[in-house]
Amino acid sequence: MKQYIFSFYTDHTEQAKPVVWEETILASGMMEAFSKVKMLMEKYKREKGVPIRVQYKGVRYRHTDIA
């Protein structure tokens, strides 16, 4: 399993300031990681009520960052 690192962003709205956080997704491949991220995006969009943007940051193999 590899660790795929993604940054999640919310846009600035009149009610709230932008928020940025990182998530590490455990997956065997890039397609699996993106599928999991898509589900997380939908979940966070429902919870926060604002659009969520995602940026791929890199992959970690055995505790070594490659970006």
Residues 26-59 have pLDDT tens digits of: 999 999 999 999 999 999 989 988 889 999 999 9
Res 55: pLDDT: 95
The pTM of this model reads: 0.80
- Segment 13-36 shows an average pLDDT of 89
Calpha distance 22→5 (Å, rounded): 7
> What pairs with residue 2 in β-bridges?
27
Q: Which residue has the higher pLDDT, 17 or 39?
A: 39
**Could you give the C-alpha distances from 56 to 13, 28, 37, in angstroms and in order?**
23, 16, 10
**pLDDT at residue 65 tops 70:** no
